[in-house]
Chain A
């Protein structure tokens, strides 16, 4: 299998995705109103992992997923009702699988004990749950069926083997073939259509996809994908596979006990026979599924093993169809016109082809290069302004065009880096479920705005702080059911996690309808811990106290939260991303944590200002207003100048002095020619004294620390249009340069932590 090891990474990634799918689906699963389609998805995910792991020889996964698959299979065939307990067991199995995957990925020893325990547990649950419900066909019976099947299938579908080779004609014929059944409405599960077509798309399209089958694929796909791609499959097929799961199961048999595939084999074989009869009786009764089998078959007419494939194709679909038909008719029967399905084909085809995996390094490089391009473009613009005479106009036109294109490229590249925030949010339903079980609380997690896009780097870094805040809401916020009841609330608490883009910021809110923060307890605790209380003691200021290091008001320390190490880390993490956390809380009603983050870490909207002949960039998000002060707006208090504007005093930071190297202080200067940029951060408000405003510009943030070191008051550097370097101001850290000591109370209102 050495030649397969190069695909290991692909398998790991696929498996990881499948596991996540399973987890999400299981969490969404409503035991009272089971959704067979969801179950199918989970089943397919389990199956894909089983197949893939078997091929690569990751036996620990194969065995476990197989049992899991059995349970899921019975569930989706409505032979077994999934209870909450069973879901929990399944979720735990998913965890075990994740561990195994991790072990395989890192070449670590497999913890077989855990694997076996988990397997045994699943098996016993399965036995218990299904005892008396399902007749398990004996193995010998299976074998028989398998044997006879070979023949039957060959006969039945031999006709397909003769289908022409060329792909185009296959398509035509394929659809022609479907045209007949259109007249006869067929009750069918719509999903089967998609799946079937999905496969149809996959097989020719993606040899690189290999054994990894897509979320939407049904079991057959994994195999079919492979068949044309990997020569080793031919071998296997030649040996005479009998079921749709052929490839995977076959591998499984090699690597693990024979019995593994027996049950499926039986299901498949039975249904194969059934459907085969159907087909021979009336062609118009052909289901989509069978039709796909046909597609599949003709696809592979060029392949040697087509007959076998064909058999396999049929092996799968009828089985699903049986489920689907009964299922669909139990609900509202749907007639599915074939031409709709055909349209779907092209749709899913395009969606298949439009998603690729790219290493993040490559994207980062692209982003850097685009940054360079933006700089070069603004250089050209500068030069273009100097061009004289006849070509000037043409030049300007071309430059404007270039500028437009550059901006578009930049936006496009940046959007590549953007991921929906659901990448982070998706792990929280599980967290909340586990927490509520552990703490005997009823908590519902509502997620909103999961499709809001956020820079990839932020996705990684925001996950920990969010986890912490959600734990916090679940643990400290939401009360136990009896307390809630006594307070006249519904027993079930709600944690609402939402994300929304507001201008250049992403605002993430974690809102719970729990007890709210306790003002007195926080103040008491702060005093106990010797934390300075802010003046005035507004609610806002009190809430910010919980971010102080070592602060925790939880009466008892649970293993969930309460050690008080978290909140200060949360705030620090978020601030290191250029974001801030605000808290709103009302006793008895709930608490809301509001996290505001910049959209991206790489590009910044800034205002260029000049001080002492040097250009500085002030982040636009911090700017409140820029004013040219009237002389009566400047007051002198204790020898320091402060500004009266917007009905309050603003302490001043003199950029020319603190960063521009000017010796003279503004306190002895005439400020009537200066510009004061009023800025605001989470902690403070003050005015930056600069010489002139140069203009608003998007700048690419470059690290100063990469080759130099951190500089107080400077967040980074950027390269201007003329190729020179300008420093980007870090408004937060500029507060230390505030010259007036009287501004203290007004600027430090919220700087309590």
Chain B
């Protein structure tokens, strides 16, 4: 899997996004926040945490929480098998893993290619969205992953 994050050969003055799949929809997040991509592994449950927080894992000595966005946003079936993917993110100097159905591609987008997001029709609250972009024949929803992960709604980061 790690090869999939390597597709950033482009030198265009654009931003690169990693696209991933949740249910039937394709999402994208800023590739600069991605630390690594790995397979899902069993977590240690955390007591009294919301169900979308799967627990914590040992990432080379760091105790890292794993969040299942599918549960959080009610998209797709939260199944866990050898194909289940975890994207490890570096957000505000913390590491957080998100469980997704799959990782598909790296895409380059210029700012004008990103259209404002509609107020509805997406599982995510629009404040966590950058906008929409067209990829081939379908839409890609660009997520402001930093905003999402650090939000009070997820409650992973203790509000300062």
- The interface residues of chain B lying within 8 Å CB-to-CB of A708 are 46, 56, 63-65, 156
- Nearest CB of chain B from residue A381's CB, rounded to whole Å: 17
Binds B, one of A471-479, A531-539, A540-548, A717-725: A717-725
Q: How far is the CA of A707 from the CA of B58 in the complex (A)?
A: 11
- The interface residues of chain B lying within 8 Å CB-to-CB of A695 are none
- The interface residues of chain A lying within 8 Å CB-to-CB of B48 are 658, 711-712
A371 touches B61 (CB 8 A): yes
Interface string of B41-65 (1 = CB under 8 A from A): 0111111110000011110111111
- The interface residues of chain B lying within 8 Å CB-to-CB of A712 are 47-48
Binds B, one of A22-30, A639-647, A669-677, A698-706: A698-706
- Nearest CB of chain B from residue A501's CB, rounded to whole Å: 29
Q: How far is the CA of A375 from the CA of B62 in the complex (A)?
A: 12
**Best-buried of B63, B94, B155 by chain A (most CB within 10 Å):** B63
Q: Which residue of A lies closest to B94 (CB)?
A: A707
Report the interface size for chain A: residues with CB under 8 A from the other chain: 29
- The interface residues of chain A lying within 8 Å CB-to-CB of B55 are 725
Interface string of B69-99 (1 = CB under 8 A from A): 0000000000000000000000000111000
- Nearest CB of chain A from residue B85's CB, rounded to whole Å: 19
Interface string of B112-149 (1 = CB under 8 A from A): 00000000000000000000000000000000000000
Residue B111 is within 8 A (CB to CB) of chain A in the complex: no
- Nearest CB of chain A from residue B80's CB, rounded to whole Å: 16
Residue A713 is within 8 A (CB to CB) of chain B in the complex: yes
**Best-buried of B42, B58, B158 by chain A (most CB within 10 Å):** B58
The answer to whether A704 and B47 touch (CB under 8 A), given A709-B155, A719-B58, is no
B62 touches A661 (CB 8 A): no
Q: Which residue of A lies closest to B158 (CB)?
A: A709
Interface string of A722-749 (1 = CB under 8 A from B): 0111110000000000000000000000
B63 touches A707 (CB 8 A): yes
The answer to whether A659 and B156 touch (CB under 8 A), given A368-B61, A372-B61, A707-B96, is no
Q: How far is the CA of A306 from the CA of B57 in the complex (A)?
A: 66
* Residue in contact with B45 in the complex, picked from A372, A375, A614, CB distance below 8 Å: A614
Residue A660 is within 8 A (CB to CB) of chain B in the complex: yes
B155 touches A714 (CB 8 A): no
How many contacts between A and B, using CB within 8 angstroms?
72
The answer to whether A658 and B47 touch (CB under 8 A), given A704-B56, A709-B155, A709-B157, is yes
- The interface residues of chain B lying within 8 Å CB-to-CB of A704 are 56, 63
Q: Which residue of A lies closest to B47 (CB)?
A: A659
Q: How far is the CA of A372 from the CA of B57 in the complex (A)?
A: 15
- The interface residues of chain B lying within 8 Å CB-to-CB of A614 are 44-45
Q: How far is the CA of A235 from the CA of B57 in the complex (A)?
A: 63
Interface string of A600-628 (1 = CB under 8 A from B): 00000000000000100000000000000
A725 touches B56 (CB 8 A): yes
The answer to whether A711 and B49 touch (CB under 8 A), given A614-B44, A725-B57, A726-B44, is yes
Q: Which residue of B lies closest to A727 (CB)?
A: B44
The answer to whether A710 and B44 touch (CB under 8 A), given A704-B63, A719-B61, is no
* Residue in contact with B46 in the complex, picked from A702, A706, A711, A724, CB distance below 8 Å: A711
B156 touches A709 (CB 8 A): yes
- Nearest CB of chain B from residue A215's CB, rounded to whole Å: 40
7 tightest Cβ-Cβ pairs between the two chains A and B: A659-B47, A725-B44, A708-B65, A717-B63, A709-B158, A707-B94, A719-B58
Contacts from A to B (Cβ < 8 Å): 368, 371-372, 375, 614, 658-661, 702-714, 717, 719, 723-727
New A-B pairs, 10, CB < 8 Å, besides A660-B47, A710-B158, A725-B56: A368-B61, A658-B47, A660-B45, A702-B61, A704-B63, A709-B158, A712-B47, A712-B48, A714-B46, A717-B56
CB pairs A–B below 8 angstroms (8 shown): A659-B47, A702-B62, A706-B62, A707-B96, A709-B157, A711-B49, A727-B44, A727-B47
